[in-house]
């Protein structure tokens, strides 16, 4: 009899332990994906309001190091090589020598400004060996208080110092001497010698398809032909 009572007591204790564990598991608060998504949306809204209020500098004060992402591609305009040439105030082959991230005039955007040494001027008034300033969307800015802000460009590789590029450029509307890429990434091609041409636009863009079977000399001559056809500076991107 004592043995049976002992077994019964053990069974009761085990059952109680199992019930306690199950109760504990179901009592733990579960963070749903929906609540996490709401938290993310609230955070994004907070940072968007900060940028509207004080630009990327304000966002950096809140986060310490603020990182954002932007899509640099133009969905409203696709260019072939002729249209790129026609729409550009300048077309040059050059090598970036220096670059620096900076805020735009109202602090609402980050760009990287490059000093590009001209090796061949295909269209426009830039002499060989002169320097043309080109601004690309995206980059990083360090502020005096130790904070920083970074704008990353989704699926777009920016220029690198020391490499050679063909650039289609249009004049900045703010009156500065800093040029912008015609068609955004569509206006940038890396010239890699025997390794061929690397277009920075999307594979579906017309100009990218055009250069697939061209080498550097072939691309240069084709664009020069278009520049002779369209020698005047055209107003781009209204």
Give how far the C-alpha of residue 48 lies from the chain's centroid of Cα atoms, to the nearest Å.
18
Residue 235 has a pLDDT of 62
Residue 13 has a pLDDT of 44
In Å, what is the CA distance from 204 to each residue of 75, 96, 208?
Answer: 11, 27, 7
Give me the CATH code for the 81-229 domain, please: 2.40.50.120
Residue 54 has a pLDDT of 85
Tell me phi and psi for residue 31, to 5 degrees. Answer: -85, 110
Q: Do residues 113 and 67 touch, judged by C-beta distance below 8 A? A: no
What order do you get walking across the sheet with 148-153 strand by strand?
Answer: 65-70, 148-153, 139-142
Please tell me the distance from the alpha carbon of residue 109 to that of residue 57, in angstroms, as a whole number: 10
Q: Do residues 228 and 85 touch, judged by C-beta distance below 8 A? A: no
Residue 19 has which token pair? 């019930």
Q: Do residues 192 and 47 touch, judged by C-beta distance below 8 A? A: no
Which parts of the chain register pLDDT below 50? 1, 3, 6, 8-31, 238
Q: What is the pLDDT of residues 29-78, one digit of tens each?
A: 444 556 778 776 777 787 888 888 888 999 999 999 999 999 999 877 88
Domain boundaries, the chain: 81-229
Q: Do residues 122 and 227 touch, judged by C-beta distance below 8 A? A: yes
Residue whose pair of structure tokens reads 């991230």 in the numeric block: 101
């Amino acid at each position: 009899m004592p043995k049976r009572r002992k077994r019964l007591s053990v069974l009761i204790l085990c059952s109680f332990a199992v019930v306690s564990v199950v109760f504990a598991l179901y009592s733990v608060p579960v963070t749903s994906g929906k609540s996490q998504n709401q938290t993310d949306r609230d955070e994004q809204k907070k940072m968007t309001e900060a940028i509207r209020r004080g630009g990327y500098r304000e966002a950096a004060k809140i986060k310490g190091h603020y990182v954002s992402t932007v899509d640099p591609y133009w969905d409203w305009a696709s260019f072939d090589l002729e249209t790129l040439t026609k729409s550009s105030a300048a077309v040059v082959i050059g090598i970036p020598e220096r670059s620096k991230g900076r805020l735009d005039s109202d602090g609402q955007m980050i760009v990287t400004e490059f000093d590009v040494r001209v090796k061949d001027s295909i269209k426009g008034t830039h002499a060989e060996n002169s320097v043309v300033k080109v601004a690309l969307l995206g980059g990083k800015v360090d502020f005096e208080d130790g904070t920083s802000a970074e704008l990353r460009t989704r699926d777009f590789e920016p220029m690198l110092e020391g490499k050679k590029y063909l650039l289609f450029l249009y004049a900045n509307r703010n009156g500065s001497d800093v040029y912008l890429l015609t068609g955004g990434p569509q206006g940038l091609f890396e010239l890699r010698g025997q390794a061929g041409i690397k277009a920075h636009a999307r594979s579906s863009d017309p100009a990218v398809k055009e250069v697939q079977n061209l080498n550097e000399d072939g691309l240069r001559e084709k664009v020069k032909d278009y520049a002779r056809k369209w020698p005047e500076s055209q107003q781009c991107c209204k």
